[in-house]
Structure 1
Amino acid sequence: MSESAAPAVDESPAKAGPTPGKGRPTPKRRDAENKRRGPTAPPPTTRAEARERKKALKKTMSKEDRKALNAERRQTRIDQREKMMDGDEKYLMARDKGPVRKMARDLVDSRRNFAGLFMPFAVFLIVAIMVPKLAVIANLVLLVFVVFMAIDSVFLGRMVNKRVRERYPDTQEKPFRLGWYAFTRAMQLRMMRAPKPQTKPGDKV
């Protein structure tokens, strides 16, 4: 009589069961680093407090770290100024923000303004006044120049206000403030204007 066959044994490796989840998403590396550092301190409320924090931070940094931090801050300031000069709304000063102020700048930059000659003309007159024989003539020329500059500036202010209100009839800009803004920009040499001119003389705005 033959012996009964022994039951076969399954020697295949057992499958690993599902790994139980952690019940929360894996934290990002930055979040984990912030957690190790502890809670973030509230922003300083005074300049004195900001200076004290800056001094305390420097004490914990090495010389190389301070150099790297200063270089990074310097590059950040350079980048911000470049964006401001290019007219990036995010980096503009409060007085330059908004479509109304941008249009005023474009209108000023699109024409040749008499007021723009004031700075180089003033330097010439200062030199001329130092010569006794030319002092009287220089004063008369200065008076005539100021009169023409005033007339041109009044025309510029009215033109800017008229054009702006045609395009933005609901603007809350006061006529005098907008006209003064245009005048102060026109007084500057073109290469010194900030933000940089986006239009050339003769361009239509």
Structure 2
Amino acid sequence: MKLPGRRRDEAQSAASADSLVEAVYLDGAGGPTSARGAVTAPKGRPTPKRSATAKRRGPVAPAPMTSAEARARRKSLKGPKLSKEERQVAKAQRRERIADRRERMLAGDDSALLERDRGPVRRYARDIVDSRRNLLGLFMPVALGLMFIMIAVPQVQYYISPAMMLLMVLMAVDGVMVARKVGRMADEKFPDNVESRWKLGLYAASRASTVRRMRAPRPQVRRGERLD
């Protein structure tokens, strides 16, 4: 059904739309533009950043489709295959290096020590702990002995529990004493020391709680020896 005057309205709407498109998208030189005059850069090529990244990365190898291809790729990355004699020689050399490093660490060589054990301040703290008799070092053997006694004779559990509590209190007091002693003597010997007493005290208490023959590095001083 046609209404009167509709063709005239459609013609006017099409004319106004064409004029709006020309005003918004076309400038005087025929280039694309926006309503505010901002020119959009032509596309058709990647940005410089993407191009540089693609050149740096290079081609990516396709993923292996089967387990055989994966094994072959792992073998190629490992390099040439060694013979049995060469593997034995390499294993012996590796064991020798590990044993040498461990021996130097136990002897106190600063280059082979862990980061927590390095430095003259930590060495001095170890000497202070090793030169005294520490009640903390009896914790593990005494605890194991009391546990075996409790398992063998359950009737004495009533008496062992208070003894364990008393022993733990004495060990805590001994740990505080050795930590304070190490902090005070380290400050006197090394006035420029910037390490906190809290960390140094924890380090000393941790070493004191270990049995003497199991300490690493090995003790360099005898029990009762006086330190400068």
Instruction: Give ranges in structure 1 of 5+ residues lacking alignment.
Output: 1-51
Instruction: Look up the SS of the partner of 2:226 in the other structure.
Output: coil
Instruction: Look up the SS of the partner of 2:201 in the other structure.
Output: helix
Alignment of 1:195 with 2:217, yes or no, is: yes
Q: What is the letter of the counterpart of residue 193 of structure 2?
A: T
Q: What is the letter of the counterpart of residue 94 of structure 2?
A: R
d(CA) in 1 for partners of 2:76 and 2:161?
A: 54
Q: Corresponding residue for 1:129?
A: 150
Q: Percent of aligned positions with the same letter in both sequences? A: 41
Alignment of 1:64 with 2:95, yes or no, is: no
Q: Corresponding residue for 2:160?
A: 138
Q: Return the structure number with greater relative CO, CA threshold 8 A, min gap 6.
A: 1
Please give the TM-score of this superposition, normalised by the length of structure 2: 0.65
Q: Deviations over 1:130-159 (max 9, x none)?
A: 222111111111011011111111110000
Q: Size of the alignment, in residue pairs?
A: 153
Instruction: Look up the SS of the partner of 1:155 in the other structure.
Output: helix
Q: Which runs of 4+ in 1 moved over 4 A?
A: 52-55
1:53 and 1:81, CA in 2 relative to 1: closer, same or farther beyond 3 A? farther
**Largest Rg, 1 or 2:** 2
Measure how far apart 1:129 and its partner are: 2.2
Q: Corresponding residue for 1:41?
A: none
Instruction: Look up the SS of the partner of 1:81 in the other structure.
Output: helix
d(CA) in 2 for partners of 1:87 and 1:160?
A: 19
Q: Which of 119, 141, 144 is the matching residue for 1:98? A: 119
Q: Deviations over 1:66-90 (max 9, x none)?
A: 1100000001100110000000000
Alignment of 1:107 with 2:160, yes or no, is: no
Measure how far apart 1:55 and its partner are: 6.8
Measure how far apart 1:60 and its partner are: 2.5
Instruction: Give ranges in structure 2 of 5+ residues lacking alignment.
Output: 1-73
Alignment of 1:79 with 2:106, yes or no, is: no
d(CA) in 2 for partners of 1:97 and 1:54?
A: 41
Q: Corresponding residue for 1:183?
A: 205
d(CA) in 2 for partners of 1:202 and 1:55?
A: 58
Instruction: Look up the SS of the partner of 2:140 in the other structure.
Output: helix
Q: Corresponding residue for 2:183?
A: 161
RMSD: 1.6
Alignment of 1:173 with 2:195, yes or no, is: yes
Please give the TM-score of this superposition, normalised by the length of structure 1: 0.72
